[in-house]
Amino acid sequence: MSTISTTLPEPSWTLPSRGLVGMVCLIVAESAVFIIFVVAYIFYLGKSISGPTPHDVLEVPVIGPICLLSSSLTVYLAVAALRKNKVRPCSFWLAATVLLGGIFLAGTAREWYQLIYQHGLTIRTNLFGTTFYSLVGLHATHVVVGLIMLTLALVLALLGRVSEANAERLDVLSLYWHFVDAVWVVVFSVVYILGR
């Protein structure tokens, strides 16, 4: 087996990283799932046979979307810091990301609370309720999953288990987070702008 060097005539043989390719595949598949929910939402706009309608009860959220979109920037900064092996700034930016994501979720929770208890809109009220809670809920589920993973990364960073060697993994995670943000742009446009 000492003759292994002769079997490598193409030393420049490099392939893309597995993690990134895998995450891109996951994003493509997830996009298909989201597209179906978005299509259902648009298809059923105005088809509810009883109230309330989106125009009656939905308010355009401001703080939540701003927080979620800014968290894309903070997670990018976290990866950039880790690439330079700066673990403390990385932890800081990860914590900021988790915080911003948490604020977004809290905003969604508050919105749902008001819809359910003030306007009486639940998932079984009418078609709007069914499609709204499904689409926004599907996205919120993805936010929760992302937050769990980001929190895990944050805890590991605080425990000193994270180094430059993990930068690529964090990069893969950040790609997922960017995807969750991008989906929100679509959901926001459809639900709160087009749909109202």
Binding site for other proteins (CB under 8 A): 1, 4, 7-10, 13, 15-18, 21-22, 25-26, 28-37, 40, 43-44, 47-49, 123-124, 126-127, 130-131, 134, 138
Q: At what angle do helices 18-43 and 127-158 cross, to 10 degrees?
A: 160
Residue number with CB closer to other proteins (21 or 145) = 21
Amino acid at 14: T
Residue number with CB closer to other proteins (25 or 63) = 25
Cβ 117 to other proteins shortest distance, Å: 18
Cβ 106 to other proteins shortest distance, Å: 23
What are the CA-CA distances from residue 150 to residues 13, 165, 166, 170 (Å)?
33, 17, 13, 9
Cβ 175 to other proteins shortest distance, Å: 14
What are the CA-CA distances from residue 56 to residues 60, 113, 184, 190, 192 (Å)?
12, 16, 22, 16, 12
DSSP per-residue codes, 134-194: HHHHHHHHHHHHHHHHHHHHHHHHHTT---GGGHHHHHHHHHHHHHHHHHHHHHHIIIIII
Q: How far apart are CA 83 and CA 171, in angstroms?
A: 9
Residue number with CB closer to other proteins (62 or 117) = 117
Residue number with CB closer to other proteins (21 or 148) = 21
Residue number with CB closer to other proteins (18 or 84) = 18
Cβ 32 to other proteins shortest distance, Å: 3
Cβ 89 to other proteins shortest distance, Å: 30
